[in-house]
Amino acid sequence: MNQAPHTEIPNAVAKRFAALQAQSRKALIPFFTAGYPSPAETMRLALTASSAGADLLELGMPFSDPLADGPAIQQSSHEALESGLKMKDTFNIVEKVTSKTNMPVVLMGYYNPIGALGVTGFVRSAKSAGVSGLIVPDLPPEESGELRAAAEDSNMALTFLIAPTTTLNRYQTIADSSTGFVYAVTVAGVTGARRLFAKETDAYLQTVKRNIAKPVVAGFGIASGKSARRMARRVDGVVVGSAFIELQRTNPRVRARAAVGRLVEEIRKSLDSLDSGVNT
């Protein structure tokens, strides 16, 4: 008896990108640090962003040595850890968010906490909480076999990063290892809002998109509707993080939530105007 051919089941992240591409829309992915300024407030911020037009959520897992993050996100991670946040609290936030919205949640964090819990146990707990995908900046594809296998078993997306310093001959390895989208880092540096991007950034993103068939999102430094629109011209979506953390840092909680909602709406409008061909 012949076996039926294996059919890959699209994960929730891949499904969301397919739906967006069918509508000719760009993905808007806000980043918040789990537990900053509190677990309850992280959930409220996520729901605010969802209502304002976010498509997916990137939720940062606080870590003591966040090598890819700039000062704003580093400080938010530090404060979350100082408040006593544990991984179980992060999973609890995800569970509450996914019970109230259909927005896929992608956890972003470093390999040490995953390894400390055990890869299989971590992925199972994450999946049980409602996590749809993982981004692990300090894990190269060549060393990701255990996590990739566990994520595949749980039908969870795994995303790897491409940077301006990545050589072309590694693009396909990164693309083949990524099962939701590929994350194109816009600068050779850490996260943080920026006023200007070099012209080389546009050429770099064009090169990434030209060489990778999977959805590509741009992140690091995007802080406004204008910068989001510029980056999204060349890729399939944007991640915005430090700008939201700064709003939380400089405003009382209720005002911060409102400011986050306004910025999400601004970026959503800007991205949609790009998709519809409106010049702004």
Two tokens, residue 234: 């060349």
**Choice among 8, 41, 55, 58 that is catalytic:** 58
At CA 92, angle to CA 87 and CA 96, rounded to 5?
150
- Positive or negative: CA dihedral 125, 126, 127, 130: positive
φ and ψ of 83, to 5 deg:
-75, -5
- Residue ranges of the alpha helices (H) in 68-198? 71-82, 87-100, 111-117, 119-129, 145-153, 168-177
Q: Determine the Cα–Cα distance for residues 207 and 204; give it in Å rounded to an integer.
A: 5
Q: Determine the Cα–Cα distance for residues 22 and 34; give it in Å rounded to an integer.
A: 31
Dihedral Cα 89, 242, 232, 255, nearest 10 deg: 80
* Cα Rg of the chain, angstroms: 18
What is the β-pairing status of strands 57-60 and 105-108? parallel
**Choice among 41, 69, 236, 246 that is catalytic:** 69
275 is catalytic: no
Which residues pair with residue 28 across a beta bridge? Answer: 238
Question: 3-state SS of 96-129?
Answer: HHHHHCCCCEEEECCHHHHHHHCHHHHHHHHHHH
55 is catalytic: no
Active site residues: 58, 69
